Amino acid sequence: MAALIAENFRFLSLFFKSKDVMIFNGLVALGTVGSEELFSVVAFHCPCSPAHNYIYGLAAIGVPALVLFLIGVIWNNHTWNVVAECHKRGTKNFSVAATFLLFGSIMGRAAVAPVTWSVISLLRGEAYICALSEFVKPTSLDKFPAEYGAEALARFPCKDIPANLTKFRDEVTRRLRYESQLFGWLLIGIVAVLVFLTKCLKHCCSPLSYRQGARRTAEIHSRVLAAKNVKHFFGFVALDKEEKELVQEFPVEGVQPSTQWNAITGVYIYRENKGFPLYSRLHKWAKGVEGNGPSPEGHEMLFLAS
């Protein structure tokens, strides 16, 4: 029983380590949601005054988002690696692809909190209603009293309004909340599309194949090789228990050239060679079969293997 529990715990630890970026982004998003809720309850108070509502409402959405973005950039180690690289060697070693990948990683992580803040603020609608209530045209409200103007509309986010304007306040609030939530959902959709396109561009621009970055064996190989390089540089390497076990269990003598990685990467159509199945590109490479076209003895089945 103890062995089973230990094995399950090890599996969970490996899983969370492999998903560390996703978990970190999720925790950042949850923390931002909680902060926004606390801000709305404690600190957000619409001034309900013409010319002040708009500035205050936009500031309530934009300023915290900007601060969160800057904090995300500052906390990212890649930011200071770029600064150090520019200080030491300038920008001569920066290719377009490398620059895109590096800055995309920095900006992508830093944008999690501000985007979450903006989305939650828009879905709640309070800041948007505060900012734009005074700009609602009185003529768009049926039977709105002519003696009231922008000053009365600016007080709609507050409750101290004349009784005869209550129904108009409800209508304006409902209309503006609809617009705010619509923009919130559009922002979510735009971000989702950008994340998808960024992931595609990342894999297109990266010299590493998807399998090199996604395979557990490739990850362990890179960690063991990194430990070996650090030891070569300093003369020793400080490792925890798990890393020591990896280094001892999996000695690394070299790395695979890109031609071998290219040979095992990509969509594969199931093939048979002289009656023997070839289940993947890696299987094909291991058996030493050359070429991608079907042989006279070969038989193909439309079976896509990842």
Chain segment 207-261, per-residue pLDDT in tens: 555 554 456 677 777 778 888 888 878 888 888 877 777 777 777 776 777 777 6
Domain-by-domain residue ranges, the chain? Answer: 44-205, 221-233+263-286
Extended beta strands in the chain, E state: 268-273, 276-278, 299-305
* Least confident residue range of 129-133, 140-144, 194-198, 263-267: 263-267
pLDDT at residue number 7 = 45
Higher pLDDT among residues 222 and 79, named by residue: 79
pLDDT, one tens digit per residue, over 101-112 is 778 788 888 898
pLDDT at residue number 75 = 87
Contact 288/257 with Cβ under 8 angstroms? no
Instruction: Report d(CA 55, CA 52) in Å as an integer.
Output: 5
pLDDT at residue number 24 = 63
Instruction: Report d(CA 118, CA 36) in Å as an integer.
Output: 9
Helix H or strand E segment including 63 = helix 53-75
Tell whether the model's pLDDT for residue 100 goes beyond 80: no
Instruction: Report d(CA 3, CA 7) in Å as an integer.
Output: 6
pLDDT at residue number 177 = 94
pLDDT at residue number 176 = 93
Helix (H, G, I), strand (E, B) or coil at 268: strand
Contact 115/35 with Cβ under 8 angstroms? no
- Predicted confidence band at 303 (pLDDT cuts at 50, 70, 90)? very low
Higher pLDDT among residues 57 and 100, named by residue: 57
Question: Looking at residues 142-151, what average pLDDT do you find?
Answer: 79
User: Degrees (nearest 5) of the Cα angle 130, 119, 17?
Assistant: 150
Nearest to 297 by CA among 277, 273, 270, 276: 273
